[in-house]
Structure 1
Amino acid sequence: MRVCIDGQSLLTKRTGIGNYTYNLIDKISLNNHPYDVSVFANSMRGNLVQEFQNTTIDFKLTRFPYKIYKKCVYDYNINIGLFAGSFDLFHSTNFIAPKIGRNKKLVITVHDLAFKYFPEMIEKETLNLINEYLPRSLERANKVIAVSENTKKDLIINYSIDPNKIVVTPLACNREQYQRVSNEEKIAVVKTKYNILNDYFIYIGTLEPRKNIPNLIKAFNKVANTYENISLVLVGQKGWGYEEISKLINEFNLEDRIIFTGYVPDEEVPALLSGSISFVYPSFYEGFGLPVLEAFSCGIPVITSNNSSLPEVAGELGVYVDPYNVDDLANKLNKMLEEKHNLDSKKYIERAKQFSWESLAEKTSDVYMKLLYK
């Protein structure tokens, strides 16, 4: 028996879905199982990531122009087996699935339904593709994997899926990368690089409307009026809607108190997190909320929203806010400043350890086994 995993997200710099796919393949390749594993993708330019520890994985890369490949697979409904080779089960790791042929098993992973609630945030072509093909992919799938109970709930509400068809496999963070930095000199070097002179709250992620940065700035402004030596550090690329953020900063005269770092190399992020008062993540919606785990893994508290999947991730340790309530967020920032010296980093690190890629791979492999050998 052979399982073919969609590796398209491995071809570019790995972000959320790419990290999920990489860690799934990497950990499954280290387990003992009776099925073979192949990884398939199509790209004119990219190469499949091959730094997996198990070299028995069969990597299959075809090189067609994407528009031609897309027309073949989705518009003309050509069997993906003509590109990917033979398999008994196909796992689409990114929402939608191609035609796989008769007597083949299909598993798809759905990471979130942000496109339902924030369609303006998705490129029109991608949005149209998902809206057209996701319903039929869900219908054809033998099993649907959701990365959180909230995503499972959203799937049931929006697509009326049988709950028994959905398996939840929570994500994890790379704990080898996200570790608490106790060396004050290392933290000071990174702070100096980004001109961080004060104690600070930190946000990490794309600066886009769904992440609720304008309300964070409004709340911080209330705190800044009381505490003169506090900054807000915003780590991430400027996304759609950044104009509102810039306007608010100018309106509140916070140019010297809010620091934009832009892109920060992965190796510097743990030091920035470890040196902060708290990670603040008042997002309107998250399929899983991985940055919360990354902050916990560095031993710092998290202020986050009381919605979507975020309470699943932060658990009892999260400091929760109504993301629409600026006063609530400001009060929680103030409370964190008052209690910062009494916080125990170990409990946050232990919380992060409860989520692992090994567990995700084991649960996913169990899905494969039940479909292939039942």
Structure 2
Amino acid sequence: MWIINGRFLTQGITGVQRFAHEIIRELDNVVKPREYKILVPKNIVYKELKYKNIEIEICGNLEGHLWEQLELPLYVKKNKGQLLNLCNTAPIINPGVIAIHDIQTKVHPEFFSKKFALWYNILNYFNIKNSKKIITVSEFSKNEIIKYYGVSKDKIQVIYNGWQHMDRIKQSEDILNKFNIKTGEYILGVSSLNPNKNFKYILELAKLHPEYKFVIVGKKNSTIFKEIIVEELKNLIWTDYVNDEELKSLYASAKAFIFPSFYEGFGIPPLEAIACGCKNIFVSDTSCLSEVFEDSVSYINPKTIKKLHFIYTKNSQNILKKFEWKVSAQKIKNMLNRLTI
């Protein structure tokens, strides 16, 4: 039996958790009962979540990293299972198969607190070394893992993210009224105060475009990321957390979407924006982004701030054909089947 590390069910959704949720949702349609099981600690957030063929079992008394390093591998060993980890972390001993979305803490430790970067770099070292197979979400990330950890390319399989989850979400126009913003009159960014997300670029861009409101979606997390001073501007709106329905409405109604990140393993937000019909997408010309988005977006230098020129990219919708959760889940299933034999 494949046992899925369900620690992500105790967390909110970022791109990493989205990958896990959507892959499991699709796996549930193609696996047999008792072939897969999700093991989760007691502080599960999604208590009402149920699948047709994949059982969810709550196990142990610990939480967080302690649960993941102690109780999870003990359960796997006792039940003679094989472990699948979809969200960057796994037990150091016998991690099984792990999805590592990027190695940002290794390449850019300056973007994080020293404690956070140290812990994740230790985890990455042992998880990459001891895993049976590594999943990552772009050729760029695959090459980075090979470069920094000396792993054989045959150990790593690239499996892309998808966007189809946006089709299941209904828009909530209430968010526009809440912040007094109108369709086509604002520029949207999905960001955090992680220096990697380059929030300062959006801040400076807002000064260059006083005719537009700039709406920033994301949570501030000073415990993980180095302190950044957020300047107050009249045309800058920070929404903090929004739900999926509100986010879809913001994507669909924006004049443009901007993603000035320095380093990404994939970059789901621009793909979501395209899927929701946003016609002007601007992303950095760095890391994996040209691999993922090809000619479907406009590219910006994240270190050079210039006024935006709104040019609708005709090929934007074509890029959606490249990515599908169903296809990605089937690739993972095929890979796991080969490991089981």
TM class by shorter chain equals 0.7 to 0.9
Q: TM-score, normalised by structure 1?
A: 0.79
CA distance in 2, matches of 1:213, 1:294: 19
Identity %: 24
1:95-134 superposed matches below 5 A? 95-98=88-91, 106-122=96-112, 124-134=114-124
Q: How far 1:293 sits from its partner (Å)?
A: 0.7
2:201 corresponds to 1:215: yes
Quick check: 1:236 aligned with 2:218?
yes
Residue 143 of structure 2 is aligned with which of 144, 153, 173? 153
* Structure 1 residues 213 and 95: alpha-carbon distance in aligned structure 2, compared to 1, 3 A threshold: closer
- Aligned twin of 1:176: 167
User: Alpha carbons of 1:161 and 1:94: their partners in 2 closer, same or farther (altered >3 Å)?
Assistant: same
Give the TM-score of the pair, scaled to structure 2.
0.86
1:324 aligns with 2:292: no
Offset, 1:369: 0.9
8 Å Cα contact 1:79/1:100 also seen in 2: no
Check whether the contact 1:233–1:261 (CA below 8 A) recurs between aligned residues.
yes
| Cα distance in 2 for residues equivalent to 1:210 and 1:5 | 29
Deviation track 1:142-181 (CA, whole Å, cap 9, x = no partner) reads 21101111110110110011011100001112132468x7
* Aligned pairs (5 A) from 1:252-271: 255-271=233-249
Distance 1:242 1:270, change over 3 A: farther
> Are residues 135 and 267 of structure 1, via their aligned partners in 2, closer, same or farther at CA, if it must alter by over 3 Å?
same
Distance 2:114 2:9 in 1: 23
Q: In 1, distance between residues paired with 2:123 and 2:149? A: 13
Count of residues in Structure 1 that have an aligned counterpart in Structure 2: 335
Structure-2 change in CA distance of 1:47 and 1:202 (3 Å)? closer
Q: What are the residue-to-residue correspondences of 1:37-56 with 2, within 5 Å?
A: 37-43=36-42, 45-46=43-44, 51-54=49-52, 56=53
2:265 corresponds in structure 1 to 287
1:119-148 per-residue CA deviation (whole Å, 9 max, x = no partner) reads 244455543332223222212222110111
In the alignment, the residues of structure 1 paired with residue 168 and residue 240 of structure 2 have an alpha-carbon distance, to the nearest angstrom, of 20
How far apart, in 1, do the equivalents of 2:26 and 2:238 lie?
36
Is 1:206 the counterpart of 2:192 in the alignment? Answer: yes
Amino acid at match of 1:365: K
- By how many angstroms is 1:356 displaced? 1.5
Larger fraction in helix: 1
Question: Could you say if the C-alpha distance between residues 84 and 40 of structure 1 is closer, same or farther in structure 2, counting changes exceeding 3 Å?
Answer: farther
Q: 1:51-90 counterparts in 2 under 5 A?
A: 51-54=49-52, 56-66=53-63, 70=66, 74=69, 80-82=73-75, 85-90=78-83
Q: Which runs of 5 or more structure 2 residues have no equivalent in the other structure?
A: none
For 2:51 and 2:202, the matched residues in 1 are separated by 42
- How far apart, CA to CA, are the structure 1 residues paired with 2:3 and 2:13? 20
Question: In angstroms, what is the RMSD of aligned CA positions?
Answer: 2.9
Residue type at the aligned position of 1:15: T
Aligned with 1:80: secondary structure? helix
1:288-327 to 2 correspondences below 5 Å: 288-300=266-278, 301-327=280-306
CA distance in 1, matches of 2:149, 2:229: 34
Provide the residue aligned with 1:252 in structure 2: none
The aligned counterpart of 1:352 is 320
Does structure 1 residue 166 correspond to structure 2 residue 166? no
Structure 2 CA distance for aligned equivalents of residues 282 and 353 of structure 1: 24
Which whole-Å CA distance do the structure 2 matches of 1:95 and 1:176 have between them? Answer: 26
Q: Judging changes above 3 Å, is the alpha-carbon distance between structure 1 residues 161 and 325 closer, same or farther for their aligned structure 2 residues?
A: same
Whether contact under 8 Å (1:48, 1:61) holds in the other structure is: no
Query: How many angstroms apart in 2 are the aligned matches of 1:118 and 1:203?
Result: 22
Q: Which residues of structure 1 form unaligned runs of 5+? A: 250-254
| Partner Cα separation in structure 1 for residue 199 and residue 296 of structure 2 | 22
Instruction: Give the superposition deviation at 1:326.
Output: 1.4
SS in 1 for 2:97: strand
The structure with more radius of gyration: 1
Alpha carbons of structure 1 residues 62 and 127: separation in structure 2 relative to 1, 3 Å: farther
1:4, 1:90 within 8 Å by CA — same for their partners in 2? Answer: yes
Q: What is the distance in 2 between the residues matched to 1:84 and 1:267?
A: 41
Whether 1:370 aligns to 2:338 is: yes
Instruction: Note if contact 1:210-1:285 (Cα within 8 Å) is conserved in structure 2.
Output: yes
SS in 2 for 1:175: helix
Contact kept, 8 Å, 1:236 with 1:261, in 2: the verdict is yes
**How far apart, CA to CA, are the structure 1 residues paired with 2:275 and 2:98?**
29
Task: Give the direction of change, closer, same or farther, for the CA distance of 1:80–1:16 in structure 2 (3 Å limit).
Answer: same
Output the CA distance in 1 between the equivalents of 2:123 and 2:334. 26
Which whole-Å CA distance do the structure 2 matches of 1:117 and 1:175 have between them?
31
